[in-house]
């Protein structure tokens, strides 16, 4: 990959080509659980290279504004969240969630200065246990997000997030890379990846759509059977995958669809939002099941630094790799699928040097996502409309997976299962 193309992909701060792309979509800013209390303590938030402050006001609505008071740039984190606004404790200037200055007690009453002072403030909405933010031009604000997993009832949905210490593209590309599952996540001690391990060179087919693309991995597992997995990529950085069957080949307790969104904090750090939702109305996702799934992934409560969403295992302790375990059947020597992914993605460094890569036949999804995102930067520069801004383009889709006999057309078999029902 050309150096200039890689730079265009990974830089997401204000005014950068890719930063302008991300800012035109609704993005996850926080989990709802992080801001529960009305008039409660505000939170520092860093997104797309900007330092922001989030607070839930007296009406229960979340405001996200710039982090510093426009008077003398005092940090609003120390402010008082009261009576529908955040009040700076330095001189008492107060701002509502739209960034308007609603009180200026240190100035003469009626001062015209009050009307001129404003905080940068971004629109928010709250859906699916997530607080969403739009950071682009207001005149171009798209409809609010409407992914199927947001419409699933709270009883049938689970969302978490994890801090990742590398550029968002390393996480996104890891999520879209299906071939690595056969190796990095192989565990012969419990056969958790038996189907993926049966064929380490899956055939990939990528179909570009008006929201991004869908792609299919086909693994031949013997006895005239294929393991077909239909993934969805929704621009700019969301992946959905079917876990209705799962890599074990046995129907899980909760047939589900899951996936991730990668939200850049800055060029070298990322929030990874992890979601799963039940495939049908008759099977809810109870908390015990969800937490057990998180634990097996390596991001359960005990795996996080207390009070944070950051893993205890990281590059400073080599993700607790166990070389003996590696010899005994866990291919990577690292426990937990999520931990295995982070070990490789963070281990590449904060921003990987893509000019030194040699891509192969199983990298079709990686090549395609890079092409789509690079084109998206030029779409914005031309003043044209990006793919996937309208929820109507992707609100109806699902991911799916199943065993399909060699002589059966998988597209016909998946036709109904790949359509949203919530």
Q: Each residue of 394-420: pLDDT tens digit?
A: 999 999 999 999 999 999 999 999 999
Higher pLDDT, 175 or 246: 175
> Is the model's pLDDT at 193 over the cut of 90?
no
Tokens coding 411: 């597209």
Residue indicated by tokens 């997995």: 229
The span from the CA of 28 to the CA of 162, in Å, is: 13
User: Confidence band (pLDDT; 50, 70, 90) for 191?
Assistant: low
Q: Is the same domain home to 304 and 157?
A: yes
Give percent of the chain above pLDDT 70: 98
Model pLDDT, residue 251: 75
pLDDT of 148 reads: 96
> Containing domain of residue 64, as a range?
37-137
Last residue of a domain, one of 82, 105, 137: 137
> Bigger pLDDT: 139 or 201?
139
- Could you tell me the CA-to-CA distances from 419 to 177, 296, 399, 422 in Å, in that order? 23, 29, 8, 10
Q: Which pLDDT score is estimated for 252?
A: 76
* DSSP β-bridge partners for residue 31: 130
Q: Are 104 and 42 in a shared domain?
A: yes
Q: Is the domain of 101 the same as that of 226?
A: no
155, part of any domain: yes
CB 209 within 8 A of CB 202: no
Query: 211 and 316: one domain?
Result: yes
Contact 26, 125 (CB under 8 A): yes
CATH number (domain holding residue 302): 3.90.380.10
Q: pLDDT band for position 192 (50/70/90)?
A: low
Pair (128, 188) in one structural domain: no
Q: What is the pLDDT of residues 135-190, one digit of tens each?
A: 999 999 999 999 999 999 999 999 999 999 999 999 999 999 988 888 999 888 77
- Which helix (H) or strand (E) segment is 55 a member of? strand 50-56
Residue 46 lies in a domain: yes
Distance CA 220, CA 232 (A): 21
Does residue 23 form part of some domain? no
The span from the CA of 124 to the CA of 188, in Å, is: 45
Give residue 329's pLDDT.
87
Domain closes at, from 80, 114, 137:
137
pLDDT of residue 32: 98
User: Tokens at residue 278, please?
Assistant: 């039940």
**Model pLDDT, residue 247:** 66
How much is the pLDDT for 409?
A: 94
Q: Is residue 176 domain-shared with residue 294, that is, in the same domain?
A: yes
Rg (CA), the chain: 23
Q: Is residue 11 part of a domain?
A: no
Based on the fold, state whether residues 180 and 126 are members of the same structural domain: no
pLDDT tens across 5-50, in order? 999 999 999 999 999 999 999 999 999 999 999 999 999 999 999 9
Report d(CA 372, CA 211) in Å as an integer: 10
Euclidean distance between CA atoms 304 and 298, whole angstroms: 9
- Residue 266: inside a domain, yes or no? yes
Q: Are residues 115 and 180 in the same domain?
A: no
E strand or H helix at 347, and its extent?
helix 337-347
Q: What angle do CA 217, 220, 221 make, to 5 degrees?
A: 120
Please state the separation of Cα 107 from the chain's center in Å. Answer: 44
Question: Is the Cβ–Cβ distance between 204 and 217 less than 8 Å?
Answer: yes
Name the one residue in this structure whose structure tokens are 């150096």.
3
Strand partners, 205: 216
Q: What share of the chain is helix, strand, coil (3-state, %, to 5)?
A: 30, 30, 40
Separation CA 128–CA 364 (nearest Å): 31
Does residue 31 belong to any structural domain of this protein? Answer: no
For 312-363, write each residue's pLDDT tens digit.
Answer: 999 999 999 999 999 998 999 999 999 999 999 999 999 999 999 999 988 9
**Whether residue 255 sits in one domain with residue 345:** yes
Instruction: Give, as one character, the DSSP assignment of residue 88.
Output: -
Does one domain contain both 132 and 160? no
On whether residue 218 sits in a domain, the answer given is yes
Return all residues near 30 (Cβ < 8 A) that are at least 6 apart: 43, 45, 54, 62, 130, 131
Number of structural domains (the chain) is 2
Which pLDDT belongs to residue 223? 86
* Domain match, 201 and 159 both: yes
CA dist 386 and 286 (Å) reads 37
pLDDT tens, 109-142? 999 999 999 999 999 999 999 999 999 999 999 9
Between 118 and 251, residue with greater pLDDT: 118
Provide the pLDDT for residue 189: 76
User: How does pLDDT run across 367-377, given as a tens digit for each residue?
Assistant: 999 999 999 99
Boundary of a domain, candidates 81, 103, 137: 137
One-character DSSP codes across 234-277: ETTTEEEEEESS-TTSS--SS-EEEEEEEEEEETTEEEEEEEEE
Q: Under a CB-based contact definition with an 8 Å cutoff, are residues 231 and 241 in contact?
A: yes
Say if 20 falls within a structural domain.
no
Is residue 56 within 8 A of residue 40, CB to CB? The reply is yes
User: Are both 41 and 162 inside the same structural domain?
Assistant: no
- How far apart are the C-alpha atoms of 45 and 153, rounded to whole Å? 27
Q: What is the distance between the alpha carbons of residues 124 and 63, in angstroms, rounded to a whole number?
A: 7
Phi first, then psi: what are they for 103, rounded to 5°? Answer: -160, 140
- Which CATH number belongs to the domain containing residue 117 in this structure? 2.102.10.10
What average pLDDT does the chain have?
94
């Amino acid at each position: 990959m050309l150096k200039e193309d890689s730079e265009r992909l990974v830089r997401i701060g204000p005014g950068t080509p890719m930063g302008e792309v991300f800012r035109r979509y609704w993005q996850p800013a926080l989990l709802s659980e992080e801001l529960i209390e009305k008039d409660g303590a505000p939170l520092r938030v860093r997104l797309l290279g900007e330092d922001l402050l989030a607070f839930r006001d007296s009406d229960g609505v979340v405001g996200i504004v710039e982090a510093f008071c426009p008077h003398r740039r005092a940090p609003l984190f120390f402010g008082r969240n009261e009576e529908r606004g955040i009040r700076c404790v330095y001189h008492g200037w107060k701002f509502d969630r739209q960034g308007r200055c609603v009180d200026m007690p240190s100035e003469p009453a009626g001062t015209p200065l009050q009307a001129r002072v404003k905080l940068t403030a971004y629109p928010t909405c709250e859906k699916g246990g997530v607080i969403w933010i739009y950071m682009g031009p207001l005149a171009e604000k798209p409809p609010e997000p409407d992914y199927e997993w947001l419409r699933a009832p709270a009883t049938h949905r689970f969302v978490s997030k994890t801090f990742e210490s590398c550029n968002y593209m390393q996480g996104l590309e890891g999520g879209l890379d299906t071939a690595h599952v056969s190796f990095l996540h192989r565990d012969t001690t419990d056969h958790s990846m038996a189907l993926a391990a049966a064929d380490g060179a899956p055939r990939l087919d990528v179909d570009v759509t008006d929201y991004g693309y869908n792609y299919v991995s086909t693994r031949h597992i013997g006895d005239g059977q294929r393991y077909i997995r239909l993934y969805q990529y929704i621009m700019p950085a969301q992946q959905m995958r079917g876990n209705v069957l799962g890599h074990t080949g046995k129907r899980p307790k909760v047939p589900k669809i899951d996936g991730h969104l990668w939200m850049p904090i800055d060029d070298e750090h990322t929030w990874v939002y992890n979601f799963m939702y039940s495939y049908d109305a008759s099977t809810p996702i109870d908390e015990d099941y969800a937490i057990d799934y998180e634990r097996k992934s390596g991001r359960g409560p005990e795996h996080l630094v207390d009070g944070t969403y950051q893993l205890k295992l990281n590059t400073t302790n080599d993700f607790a790799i166990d070389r003996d375990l590696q010899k005994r059947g866990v291919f990577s020597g690292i426990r937990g699928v999520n931990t295995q992914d982070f070990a490789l993605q963070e281990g590449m460094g904060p921003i990987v040097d893509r000019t030194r890569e040699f891509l192969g036949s199983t990298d079709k999804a990686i090549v395609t996502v890079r092409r789509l995102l690079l084109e998206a930067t030029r779409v914005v520069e031309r003043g044209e409309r990006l793919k996937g801004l309208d929820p109507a383009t992707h609100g109806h889709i699902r991911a799916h997976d199943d065993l399909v006999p060699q002589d059966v057309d998988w597209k016909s078999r998946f036709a109904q299962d790949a359509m949203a029902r919530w």
